[in-house]
Structure 1
Amino acid sequence: MTHDLVTTLRPLLTAEASAEAYASGADPGDLEQAVWLRLLERLEADRPPRDPHRWLRSAVRMEARRCRRTTRAERPYAAEPADAVEREPEELVLTAARHRALHDAVRRLPGRCPRLMQALLSPRDLTYREIAGELGISQGSLGPERSRCLGCLRRLLTPEVAAR
């Protein structure tokens, strides 16, 4: 009986969930899954719906309303918890040590790489055009140069990373 009910209701549920999902901002698959779960709970409790088609339409609308309410009530974090302002002293010391190791490795890079990497790591968040202007190179050569410098930096940092 359950298999027949699922087979019969699947096309209707897919259509109803697709229609309601757009208005509620939910994923149609999530709505379908929630309604199937409700149906299984009813069947396990020996309370099959009298009119399965009508019950299904109503269940999809209820799930869509629940989704809308949840979305309205949820508020995003201003910052990720990992970006929390207050950090443990040990964490601050380790972060400072990583930054020092990175900047020391950048200074040991060959050629124009130290200036390029400092510009890329700058807190001013420079654009490629600004970096190219500061370094006196063409913007088109910036990408390959950056790639070469990052390769050098990776080779310099590998022993330090492996040591930890």
Structure 2
Amino acid sequence: MTDASRGGAVSDGSARWERAADLFADWRAGETRAIDDLVRLMTPVLWHVVRAYGLERSLAEDVVQSTWLALVRASESVADARAISGWLTTTARREAWKVAKGHRRADATSDEILEPMLPAQESAEAEVAASDESRRLWAAVGTLDERCRRLLRIIAFDDRPDYANLAGELEMPIGSIGPTRRRCLVKLRAELVRTGAATEGDGDG
């Protein structure tokens, strides 16, 4: 499921996080090229997280860039290299939420605010769909209702979501995030089964 070569494609899931941890550890050990590979690996993920906040392209680019700059400045604060993926996605999510709050138009409808705005042209986030599996997954996410799309894009890459903070950002009661996430995942699996991207038994047990 993975290409173990330096900078090679890595499928979504634990392999991506493990690869990110290795690259981060290599970079802190003095291997300067490792940070370039880490950026290539994780930027598509950060794009999905950031664009879930409805930011226009230029603002999303700024947030992703700010996330990487924050890592350069605070790399020593990440005590465990295995936490780097969570650190990056959490930092990007918080910055995107802050920027989105500051740029909401007074006359914007909630749909305009919440709708993930993916660019029509090929760009950095398209890299996350490099594998057929990823393309099918995000195509299926796109068929879900707006709340499910946003929720899954924000927490899909977070192993331990901070529900307390997410409740404020998503404007949802904290107790409803878990059940809503489960319902959204059920809908997602049904769509994947319908399109042949998954079978009924996938993920059981």
TM-score range, shorter chain: 0.3 to 0.5
Under a length normalisation based on structure 2, what TM-score does the superposition of the two structures give? 0.32
Q: Which has the larger radius of gyration?
A: 1
Under a length normalisation based on structure 1, what TM-score does the superposition of the two structures give? 0.39
The structure, 1 or 2, with the larger RCO (C-alpha pairs under 8 Å, 6+ apart) is 2
Structure showing the higher helix proportion among its residues: 1
